């Protein structure tokens, strides 16, 4: 039930070259029809439908230059070729292509999962935001699924050597500072100030777990018959081992309490609907279900909010430099600054 669209003009690729590669590397029935998943804002994701009705998903990096270590298709393929064995909500990766001459970038194929992706608004299939019970369950499933993921044993799924967890949090802060600097078209003193605040207060790290690094409700799909049941989790290109509170901070960055919602808090989740859990309830639920200590989570909320602003700024600068023509990104520069304002307000929680 995830929406697909015709491939955007500037995000097309040579489908004939792709079909030639598929004929050699994938056991399926050509011809293939290509559509695009329209909801993503970074990596590009396409639906491949084959002559026998089988469907697969193709993922590739966004257009234009990307930051080192991000949008790594080889890494995502490596993770998804293993993680499904211990975390069945991760779609299984099936084939990898590192030859950029095929479609213009590395890509991989994974199994297609069908479910409902909930974004800024509750869809009609779940009551359109009027069903208090369903709204509550949607706010809980994203927390519960994260807590379950953080209990996966990396060694059990062959990912025990993934990443470098020691010093992970400091490297994250310093790395995202570098990314922001590379994406700025003008000085932003508030963002500079928040960076100094974050560096001065880096918390002691908890025992590492596997982390997703971009945990959000719209990176999940839930069953159309039961919003309490997740059927898939997507976007694993930044998966590593590190402090699990980084994932929680990313999620809570767009988890606005009702008294905090204003014109700068456009959320990736329908946080304003009746019944949606408050942020402190989400934290308590996560801590109880994951066993992860709740110390210092306020700092991670600030970090996640500031980081989300950096991500929007990265997308905006690609649009400003003509590296993508997607008009959705025209206001992302202003949106990034509004998120930095929100991060500044949330520092009292750190």
CATH architecture of 4-111: 2-Layer Sandwich (3.30)
**Other beta carbons less than 10 A from residue 79's beta carbon:** 24
Helix (H, G, I), strand (E, B) or coil at 253: helix
Q: Show Cβ contacts of residue 41 under 8 Å, excluding neighbours closer than 6 positions.
A: 315, 328, 329
Enumerate the domain spans of the chain: 4-111, 128-156+163-349
Whether domain 128-156+163-349 has CATH 3.90.1200.10:
yes
Concatenate the DSSP letters of all residues of 280-310 into one string. Answer: HHHHHHHHHHH----TTHHHHHHHHHHHHHH
Locate all alpha helices (DSSP H) within 224-278, ordered by sequence. Answer: 245-253
**pLDDT tens for each residue of the chain, 350 residues long:** 458 899 999 899 999 999 999 999 998 888 999 999 987 667 899 999 999 999 999 999 988 766 656 678 999 999 999 999 999 999 999 999 999 999 999 999 999 999 999 999 999 999 999 999 999 999 999 999 999 999 999 999 999 999 999 999 999 999 999 999 999 888 899 999 999 999 999 999 999 999 999 999 999 999 999 999 999 999 999 999 999 999 999 999 989 887 776 655 567 899 999 999 999 999 999 999 999 988 899 999 999 999 999 999 998 998 889 888 788 888 888 889 999 999 999 997 65
Q: Which residues pair with 232 in a beta bridge?
A: 221
User: Which pTM was predicted?
Assistant: 0.90
Helix (H, G, I), strand (E, B) or coil at 331: coil
Q: What is the chain's Cα-based Rg? A: 20
């Amino acid at each position: 039930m995830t929406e697909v669209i015709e491939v955007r003009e500037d995000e097309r690729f040579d489908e004939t070259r792709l079909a030639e590669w598929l004929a050699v590397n994938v056991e399926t029935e050509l011809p293939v029809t290509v559509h695009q998943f329209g909801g993503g804002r970074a990596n590009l994701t396409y639906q491949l439908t084959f002559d026998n009705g089988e469907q697969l998903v193709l993922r590739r990096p966004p257009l234009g230059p990307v930051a080192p270590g991000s949008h790594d298709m080889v890494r995502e393929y490596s993770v998804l070729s293993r993680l499904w064995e211990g975390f069945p909500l991760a779609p299984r990766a099936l084939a990898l292509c590192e030859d950029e001459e095929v479609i213009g970038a590395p890509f991989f194929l994974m199994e297609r999962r069908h479910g409902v992706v909930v974004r800024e608004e509750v869809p009609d299939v779940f009551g359109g935001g009027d069903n208090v019970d369903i709204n509550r369950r949607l706010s809980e499933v994203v927390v519960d699924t994260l807590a379950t993921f953080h209990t996966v044993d990396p060694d059990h799924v062959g990912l025990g050597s993934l990443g470098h967890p020691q010093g992970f949090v400091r490297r994250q802060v310093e790395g995202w500072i570098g990314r922001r600097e590379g994406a700025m078209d003008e000085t932003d003193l508030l963002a500079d100030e928040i960076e100094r605040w974050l560096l001065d207060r880096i918390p002691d790290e908890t025992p590492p777990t596997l982390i997703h690094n971009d945990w959000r409700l719209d990176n999940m799909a839930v069953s159309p018959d039961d919003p309490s049941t997740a059927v898939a989790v997507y976007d694993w290109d930044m998966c590593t081992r590190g402090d699990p509170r980084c994932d929680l901070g990313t999620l809570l960055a767009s988890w606005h309490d009702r008294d905090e919602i204003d014109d700068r808090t456009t959320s990736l989740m329908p946080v304003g609907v009746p019944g949606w859990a408050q942020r402190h309830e989400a934290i308590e639920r996560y801590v109880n279900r994951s066993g992860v200590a709740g110390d210092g989570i306020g700092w991670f909320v600030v970090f996640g909010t500031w980081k989300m602003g950096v991500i929007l700024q990265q997308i905006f600068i690609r649009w400003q430099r003509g590296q993508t023509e997607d008009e959705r990104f025209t206001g992302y520069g202003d949106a990034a600054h509004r998120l930095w304002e929100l991060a500044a307000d949330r520092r009292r929680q750190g």
